[in-house]
Chains A and B, each alone.
Chain A
Amino acid sequence: MSNYDLKDKVALVTGAGRGIGKQIAIQLAQCGAKVIVNYCGSKEAADEVVDIITSSGGIAESLQCDVSDFIETKNMIEKITDKYEKVDILVNNAGVTRDNLMIKMSEDDFDLVVTTNLKGAFNTIRHLYRNFIKLRAGKIINISSVSGVMGNAGQANYSASKAGMIGLTKSLARELASRNICVNAIAPGFVETDMTKKLSGSAMEGAMQMIPLKRFGRPEDIADMVTFLASEKADYITGQVICVDGGMSI
Chain B
Amino acid sequence: MLEKIAQIIEEKLGLDGVEITEKTRFKEDLNADSLDLFDLVMEFEDEFGTEIPSEDLEGITTVGALLDYIEKKAG
B35 lies within 8 A of A130 (CB)? no
Q: Which residue of A lies closest to B36 (CB)?
A: A178
B26 to chain A, nearest CB (A): 16
Count how many pairs of residues, one from A and one from B, have CB atoms less than 8 Å apart in the complex: 11
**A175 contacts B42, CB within 8 Å?**
no
Instruction: List 11 A-B pairs, Cβ < 8 Å.
Output: A130-B42, A133-B35, A133-B38, A133-B39, A133-B42, A134-B42, A175-B35, A178-B33, A178-B35, A179-B35, A179-B39
Residues of B with C-beta under 8 A to A178: 33, 35
Interface residues of B (CB under 8 A from A): 33, 35, 38-39, 42
- Smallest CB-CB separation from A136: which chain B residue? B39
When chains A and B are docked, how far (Å) is the Cα of A133 from the Cα of B40? 11
| Per-position 1/0 for A156-188, Cβ under 8 A of B | 000000000000000000010011000000000
Q: Given the complex of chains A and B, what is the CA–CA distance between A178 and B36 in angstroms?
A: 10
Q: In this complex, what residue of A is CB-closest to B45?
A: A130
Contact with B along A179-203 (1 / 0, CB 8 A): 1000000000000000000000000
Q: Mark A120-161, 1 if CB is under 8 A from B, else 0.
A: 000000000010011000000000000000000000000000
Question: Which residues on B sit within 8 Å (CB–CB) of A130?
Answer: 42
C-alpha gap A143/B68 in the complex (Å): 44
Chain B, Cβ-Cβ closest to A133: B39
Residues of B within 8 A of A134 (CB): 42
A134 CA to B7 CA, complexed, in Å: 18
Which residue of chain A has the shortest Cβ distance to B39 in the bound complex?
A133
Taking CB as reference atom, which chain A residue is nearest B38?
Answer: A133
* A133: chain B residues within 8 A (beta carbon): 35, 38-39, 42
Write out the residue numbers on chain A whose beta carbons fall within 8 Å of the beta carbon of B39.
Answer: 133, 179
With A133-B39, A175-B35, A179-B39 given, can you name 8 additional A-B contacts, CB distance below 8 Å? Answer: A130-B42, A133-B35, A133-B38, A133-B42, A134-B42, A178-B33, A178-B35, A179-B35
State A179–B35 Cα separation when bound (angstroms): 9
Contacts of B38 in A (CB 8 A): 133
Query: How far is the CB of A196 from the nearest CB of chain B, in Å?
Result: 40
Could you tell me the distance between the alpha carbons of A134 and B38 in the complex, rounded to whole angstroms? 10
Which residue of the partner chain B has the closest CB to A129? B38
Residues of A within 8 Å of B33, CB to CB, are 178
Q: Nearest 5 A-B pairs (CB), nearest first?
A: A133-B39, A130-B42, A134-B42, A178-B35, A133-B42
Q: How far is it, in angstroms, between the C-alpha of A134 and the C-alpha of B39 when the chains are bound? A: 8
Complex: chain A residue closest to B33, CB-CB = A178
